[in-house]
Chain A
Amino acid sequence: MKLVPEILLLSNKEDISLDYVSAELNRHPYPFFRLNCEDLTTINCSFHLLEKEFVLVKGESEIVLGSALRSVIFRRPGQPYISPVSGFDEKQIENYVSDQWSVFINGLRCFDDVKWINSPEADRFCENKILQLVYAQELGFAIPDTLISSDRNCIENFFAKQHSEVVVKALCSPLLELETGDFFIFSNAVDTLEPFSDEEFRTTPSIFQQLIKDKIDVRVTVCGKTVFAVEIRASIGKTLPMDWRTSDQDLQYVPIELPLALQKKCVSLTKKFGLTFGAIDFVRVGETFLFLEINPAGEWGWLQRRANLPIAEAIAAEALASLRDSQCKS
């Protein structure tokens, strides 16, 4: 069976958020294919230069990615997997295999007039938290007082300015994969710097931010010009920890309407990074929304069902819009 998709999903099998998009696209007549990239080593893949086509042979199916392609939804592609090879360093083999596939998949950027939601380059560009803060500031977002530093003196001055009420966060990638296990670094409030050595400060820069008290966490999801917002609230009679993600209680996600001016700023910020999709975290104090960060591949499946927000529909609509644009042009 030959399939010529107009929409390609690049992800992994366990991305439940993308399952919502698959379900939505199944309701439309346009051919789409979900390539779960961890399976790449089990598929026969070729790029034919003359035809400018990627051909994937999977069992009885032949998937041809070529001039018909109009949209790519790129979200957390799974890392290609191979079994350990006896006598070789597992990590080196893994890196080699991943590098080759990375180039192959990024070759899909050769097609003109294909809309990427989001492009790998835009995602990577947006991961820089310093750029996020600078762009947000330029667009007029309110931002907690922030220092990014490895200089103990600067950090101590900032600490004094904040009356010893500071949050410390990683500048990027807070996942550690160690031999002893995998670990995550949440945002943490600190009220003293005494336990830390000079060397600890100097080894890497970290984000130091004004601790915001009596806050309400807000997640804003932007898809094109559509903006969804929810407040994250504790169950009645309970309070949330500083980083609400560590809470073990049943949280409530309450849809809210953002002020129109703030909605426009959120759309502008995603555009500034070249993104179609972006998940933006705020904390609200009174009527003020303070920007924390934007995540180009932020999780949203938890909102689709719990808050009943049609985010999958919005993503599918963005992908389908490029099909219609293409039909209008021809």
Chain B
Amino acid sequence: MSKVLDISTKKVPILLFRFTTPCRGRQKQSLWSESSHKVRYDECLQLTVVCGDNGEVPAIEFESLPHLATKKNDIEKGEDNKDRGMWS
């Protein structure tokens, strides 16, 4: 992954800013926006479902969404920051 130079310490004197990597931030873009499948939150089942060839199935059972299986997706969303002290 490439380092980002435009926020390097030349502008901001913070050591760890030298090691930043772009990620997908919170709320900026839906997790599903890159999916070619129709996805919706099912209020009855209280989970996300995907419209596949054989009807709707829970997203957690849908094999064609490989990003669901990797922790990296978590980072791409920037969600590793947990709830940030309940939005503070």
Residues of A within 8 A of B (CB): 9, 13-14, 16, 18-20, 22-23, 26, 32-34, 36, 38, 75-81, 98-99, 101-102, 105-106, 120, 123-124, 127, 168-170, 173-178, 180-186, 188, 195-197, 199-201, 203-204, 206, 245-247, 251, 295-297, 299, 301-302, 304-306
What's the Cα separation between A245 and B71 when bound, in Å?
7
Chain A CB within 10 Å, residue with most, of B19, B27, B74:
B19
Q: A174-B16, A296-B82, A302-B69 are in contact. Are A181 and B22 (CB under 8 A)?
A: yes
Question: What are the 3 A-B residue pairs with the smallest beta carbon separation, nearest first?
Answer: A182-B25, A183-B20, A19-B47
Chain B CB within 10 Å, residue with most, of A36, A75, A174, A201:
A174
What's the Cα separation between A170 and B32 when bound, in Å?
29
Are A32 and B26 in contact, with the CB atoms below 8 A?
no
Q: A246-B1, A302-B70 are in contact. Are A184 and B13 (CB under 8 A)?
A: no
Chain A residues positioned under 8 Å from B68 (CB to CB): 16, 301-302, 305
Q: A79-B26, A305-B68 are in contact. Are A183 and B14 (CB under 8 A)?
A: no
Are B25 and A203 in contact, with the CB atoms below 8 A?
no
Expressed in whole angstroms, the minimum distance between the Cβ of B42 and any Cβ of chain A is: 9
Q: A22-B45, A98-B87, A175-B25 are in contact. Are A184 and B75 (CB under 8 A)?
A: yes
Residues of B within 8 A of A (CB): 1, 4, 6-7, 9, 13-28, 30-32, 41, 45-48, 58-60, 68-75, 77-88
Are B82 and A76 in contact, with the CB atoms below 8 A?
yes
Q: A16-B48, A124-B85, A204-B14 are in contact. Are A184 and B72 (CB under 8 A)?
A: no
Contact of B27 among A36, A38, A183 (CB under 8 A): A38
Are A246 and B21 in contact, with the CB atoms below 8 A?
yes
Chain B residues positioned under 8 Å from A173 (CB to CB): 81, 84
Residue of B nearest to A58 (CB): B43
Contact of B48 among A13, A98, A182 (CB under 8 A): A13
Q: A98-B87, A185-B16 are in contact. Are A26 and B45 (CB under 8 A)?
A: yes
Contact of B80 among A16, A78, A184 (CB under 8 A): A184
Q: A102-B88, A127-B82, A299-B71 are in contact. Are A197 and B60 (CB under 8 A)?
A: no
What's the Cα separation between A175 and B81 when bound, in Å?
7
16 extra A-B contacts, CB within 8 A, seeds A176-B7, A183-B20: A13-B48, A19-B47, A22-B47, A32-B46, A77-B87, A80-B87, A120-B85, A168-B19, A169-B16, A174-B81, A175-B26, A175-B80, A184-B75, A185-B17, A203-B13, A302-B73
What's the Cα separation between A264 and B9 when bound, in Å?
43
Expressed in whole angstroms, the minimum distance between the Cβ of A28 and any Cβ of chain B is: 13
Are B23 and A34 in contact, with the CB atoms below 8 A?
no
Residue of A nearest to B4 (CB): A183
Are B82 and A183 in contact, with the CB atoms below 8 A?
no
Expressed in whole angstroms, the minimum distance between the Cβ of A299 and any Cβ of chain B is: 4
Chain B residues positioned under 8 Å from A175 (CB to CB): 23, 25-26, 78, 80-81
Chain A residues positioned under 8 Å from B9 (CB to CB): 196-197, 200
What's the Cα separation between A36 and B88 when bound, in Å?
17
Q: A32-B46, A77-B83 are in contact. Are A196 and B26 (CB under 8 A)?
A: no
